[in-house]
Structures are given as C-alpha cells and as structure tokens.
Amino acid sequence: MTEIELIKGCQNNERKAQEMLYRKYFGIVKSICLRYTQDEDKLISIINDSFLKVFKGISNYQATGSFEGWLRRTSFNALSDYFRKDNRYTKHTSFDIPEQSQNSEAIVDLYYADLLDVVDMLPETTKVVFKKYAIEGYTHKEIGECMGFSDGTSKWHLFEARKKLKNILKSRGSKIMGYVG
C-alpha cells in the first residue's frame, strides 16, 4: 500500500490502514517522545495520544507538505498537550532553591509555554530550523532539503538560535530574580 493509499484508508476510517500507518510510523513517534520522557507508562500514553490525534485529524491533512512532517508536528502537539495537562497539577507546588543557586536556577520557573514564547522571538528562518531540529527531530540534511539550503546553513541557524536563546533566557532570568544584570 502506498503512502497516499494509506492516508486515504485512514481518512475513510479503515482499521487495516490505521494499523499499517501505526506500524510504519511508530518508531518516529516514539523517538520524538523519548526526547522528553523515559518513563515507560508516560511514553506509551503519549504515543497512543499522538496516534489518536493523527487518526482524528488526518482528514485535515492537505498533502501540501510531507506526511511525515505533519505526523511529527501532530505528535509534538500531543506531547505538548500531555505535559501541559500534567503540569496543571504541579503548578502550585513550590520548591525551595538554595540561596547560592537562585541566580543560576532562575529560569527553572519558566513554563513550557514561556519557552515557546522565547523561541518565537527568534528570526523566522532561525526559529524554523530550531523547531525542526530541537523539537520535531529533523536532521540538518532533512531541514536543508525542506528549506532549500545546505545542511551547513541549517547548522549555522541552529548555532545562532542557541546563542540567542541563551542570551534571552539569561536576560529573563536576571529580571525574574530582580537583578538588572
């Protein structure tokens, strides 16, 4: 069965096509999830949530980009939803940070959404490369092919993103702790 036939079968809610899609892309979804948790129970739950989201939303897939890219983005959204839901129970928990480490640990208080807001402050191409590499799990070669430049250019954008994010977070960290710094 070709990928297009597989997608059409899933859009028609055919169980065989869904099973084949699950088997074909299980490793990719698992590798995305393994970047964020090693807990086997959480991992299985997130993977199942990801595929549920894929099967529910596959009718919205427009075939304008690669299906694997759409699947990765959908899986990452399921992963984000899981941890956002999981964090609502821990938001009100406070941890005492030892006095000497408060400055260096200031960014610990930033929530996931805050980090994504910081990523959104990057220049557009740098932001896209960072998200594709660090969040969605693409290689530099895949990013270069997708965006029409060399893998070396992708590596440069990732380096720039990390440098800029470090400066932004360092700046936010000092403001959080009340220092002008």
Q: What is the mean pLDDT of the chain?
A: 79
Mean pLDDT of 38-63: 90
At residue 37, the pLDDT reads 82
| CA nearest to 111, candidates 77, 72, 143, 85 | 85
Q: Which CATH architecture has domain 100-176?
A: Orthogonal Bundle (1.10)
Where do the structural domains in the chain lie, given as residue ranges? 3-87, 100-176
Please say if the pLDDT value at position 101 is more than 70: no
Average pLDDT over residues 94-115: 46
CATH number of the 3-87 domain: 1.10.1740.10
Per-residue pLDDT at 88: 54
User: Is residue 97 exposed (0-12), middle (13-18) or buried (19+ Cβ within 10 Å)?
Assistant: middle
Chain centroid to CA 160: how far? Answer: 19
Instruction: Report the run of H or E that residue 42 belongs to, with start and end.
Output: helix 40-57
Higher confidence at residue 2 or residue 83? 2
| SS3 readout for 143-165 | HHHHHCCCHHHHHHHHHHHHHHH
